[in-house]
Amino acid sequence: MADTLITNARLLDPASGLDAPGALLIRDGLIADCGAGLTAPEGAAVVDAAGACLAPGLIDLRANLGEPGAEHRETIASAAQAAAAGGITTICVLPDTDPALDDPALISFITRRGEATGSVALLPYGAATAGCAGKELAEFGLLREAGAIAFTDGARAIASARTMRLALSYARAFGAFIMQHPEEPSLAAGGAATEGELATRLGLPGITPAAEAMMVARDIAIARITGGHVHFAHISTAAALDLIRAAKAEGLAVTCDTAPPYFDLNETAIGDYRTYAKLSPPLRTEADRQAVVAALVDGTIDAIASDHQPRDADDKRLPFAQAEAGGAGLATLLGVTLARVHAGDVPMLTALGLLTARPATLLDLPQGRLAKGAPADLVLFHPDRGWKVEAGKLPGKAQNSPFDGRALEGRVLGTWKAGRRVFGG
């Protein structure tokens, strides 16, 4: 493959703190060089970025892709299309599929299916428990050998404290973290919205926001006695963030992520029973949203994940409490994150770091940085170019975006996976 030189770009590398004009040279799927004053080698293809931003391809820490078992909602091929259009070059895939990813053969199946797309690497999580059923531990060692990056039961909380203790202890032997869906299930059962005035007015069964904080508190206590690494998914409340902040200060192996709905929307988005805004955990109050924004900036949150949960029309065109929770998030991950940058809430490199270098560090991945020798996974985007999120017109199969109708600034112009252009151009 011929070399490619992307010139006239604003290079953004959160890992090194670089934010400067320059060029980047791709050779043999790797970043051969980047910086100012690069010239195109003989025979190289030249891409003029015209001043647009060039950053590492995004690493999505958590997405459900529909395969295996829910191909009517999304397939790996359709998700890959949405990912490329969204500047995502690595997706960490949730294991609560049908069947669950609790067998080494299924882990390699997902990895191979990712390779076959040619546009996005798929890094599967292994199930924390057999069938993601919350009872017996899955075979962490064998799953890890097959390529599992960490262990989780996906959108199902590991409810039993004893099971969580065993998982956090045992996973230490294989250097992997346990990712928890932090929600006390007995308090969340049957709930459809955050408990409070709005849910009361709409007559919807509520979930107290304390269901998140109490599961976080419990698992921090278990991390303390086991020395294991617990990672909390999609943190959405101030109370949980305070607990995580304190645990980090204590030196415990505790990390967390959030997803764009929790820093861009609040509970009022469910408005007149809008089921596209029904998520798990549910959208919170404005005060909690602001706490999530503050935790993006102060480092308490380690990553922003798309939390892509594909749903089809039959899942969503129902009365609110009966509709499935979950939102599509691949195509909007970058744009909604940039909205916080445009609002002046989060600095550009901090925001991009949460989508690249920081999840890379968490998973010890070589990608996620603009460094010589790193994989040439790249996204080129115009930070100000506007577009409107329209369900029905999004790339990929899943159209259930909670951001339907939202105007965004920040448009992906090109995506490169291992040096090959997979979107734009």
What residues are labeled active site? 307
Interface with another protein, residue 174, by CB under 8 A? no
Interface with another protein, residue 160, by CB under 8 A? no
Name which position in 109, 174, 273, 387 contacts another protein (CB under 8 A). Answer: 273
Interface with another protein, residue 40, by CB under 8 A? no
Interface with another protein, residue 16, by CB under 8 A? no
Supply the minimum distance, in Å, between the C-beta of residue 190 and another protein: 10
Q: Tell me whether residue 184 or residue 195 sits nearer to another protein (CB atom).
A: 195
Supply the minimum distance, in Å, between the C-beta of residue 392 and another protein: 16
Supply the minimum distance, in Å, between the C-beta of residue 199 and another protein: 7
Interface with another protein, residue 197, by CB under 8 A? yes
Interface with another protein, residue 387, by CB under 8 A? no
Q: Tell me whether residue 324 or residue 345 sits nearer to another protein (CB atom).
A: 324
3-state secondary structure the chain: CCCEEEEEEEEEECCCCEEEEEEEEEECCEEEEEECCCCCCCCCEEEECCCCEEEECEEEEEECCCCCCCCCCCCHHHHHHHHHHCCEEEEEECCCCCCCCCCHHHHHHHHHHHHHHCCCEEEECEECEHHHCCCCECCHHHHHHHCCCCEECCCCCCCCHHHHHHHHHHHHHHCCCEEECCCCHHHHCCCCEECCHHHHHHCCCEECCHHHHHHHHHHHHHHHHHCCCEEECCCCCHHHHHHHHHHHHHCCCEEEEECHHHHHCCHHHHCCCCHHHCCCCCCCCHHHHHHHHHHHHHCCCCEECCCECCCCHHHHCCCHHHCCCCECCCCCHHHHHHHHHHCCCCCHHHHHHCCCHHHHHHHCCCCCCCCCCCECCEEEEEEEEEEECCCCCCCCCCCCCCCCCCEEEEEEEEEEECCEEEECC
Name which position in 37, 272, 344, 392 contacts another protein (CB under 8 A). Answer: 272
Supply the minimum distance, in Å, between the C-beta of residue 196 and another protein: 5
Interface with another protein, residue 204, by CB under 8 A? yes
Interface with another protein, residue 314, by CB under 8 A? yes
Interface with another protein, residue 162, by CB under 8 A? no
Q: Tell me whether residue 180 or residue 236 sits nearer to another protein (CB atom).
A: 236
| Per-residue binding letters, 58-97, with another protein (x by CB under 8 A) | ----------------------------------------
Interface with another protein, residue 200, by CB under 8 A? yes
**Can you read off the two tokens belonging to residue 331?**
């195509």
Q: Are strands 151-152 and 178-180 parallel, antiparallel or unpaired?
A: parallel
Name which position in 44, 202, 253, 371 contacts another protein (CB under 8 A). Answer: 202
Q: Tell me whether residue 35 or residue 185 sits nearer to another protein (CB atom).
A: 185
Interface with another protein, residue 317, by CB under 8 A? yes
Q: Tell me whether residue 35 or residue 205 sits nearer to another protein (CB atom).
A: 205
Interface with another protein, residue 319, by CB under 8 A? yes
Supply the minimum distance, in Å, between the C-beta of residue 235 and another protein: 22
- Give the footprint of another protein on this chain (CB under 8 A): 195-197, 199-206, 208, 272-273, 314, 317-322
